[in-house]
A and B are shown apart, each in its own frame.
Chain A
Amino acid sequence: MTTSERVCRRCRYFVDDPHAVEQAFVGLTILSSAWGDTRGNQGLCIVHQQFLTPKLTCNHFTIRR
């Protein structure tokens, strides 16, 4: 796997499913949505507990199955 493929988008610790994102943030749907373009493809890293864009990486990367 190349370095450019070791990104959050492919990592098993990256939660970018819109439904899961809405579950993770209480109240998000009151005035916004995880199915909108402003959230887009960003997601939650459950290792670092940070909200991230999908093209980052770190040493904890583990391929998503």
Chain B
Amino acid sequence: MLTVEKTIRWLNLFGQKVEEKKVYLSELDQAIGDGDHGTNMARGTAAMKTVLEQKAYDTVQDVLKTAGMALLSKIGGASGPLYGSAFIGMAKQAGEGAADVSAILEAGLEGIRKRGNAEAGDKTMVDVWLPAVDAVKNKELSRERIDEWVKATEPMKAKKGRASYLGERSIGHMDPGAVSSGLLFESMIEEGVLDE
């Protein structure tokens, strides 16, 4: 169940992890993209942290919406509109009730898919979101499984985003957006968002 406090702690932990892994995320993007995913994400989560500290929030919806707008306008790149759409989608769903985390995450995935039109196996963040949303539904999300989904993007050939211009050459590297999304779900477990 999401509360205002828990949501903020979750998002701040995500931001902290992104900051710690900033260089690594950009290195991954260097291999199959333009090498900016870490700096993009860190800029976005830093802006998110600032707005979350700026005022008191009454609802989970408000927290997610504000976070989404910060990510949308400050990440840039492809992941700005993608994370932005995810959070704005989650915010809308949270307005229907903050207890159902599974439904909220599903709305986030829907936002990403609507924005980027990626399918499973296209070597994008969707390859983590899709199984993660499913696992949350079945109460079986774990760190190990998240790691598996992230690693599973390595042998994939990219069909979306900048990496898709590389064709076969995109094989053999993990997708940076999948890695950053892994951090988001890991933070969820660590902050007890999925506890009853």
Q: Do A and B come from one complex?
A: no
Residues of B within 8 A of A (CB): none
Residues of A within 8 A of B (CB): none
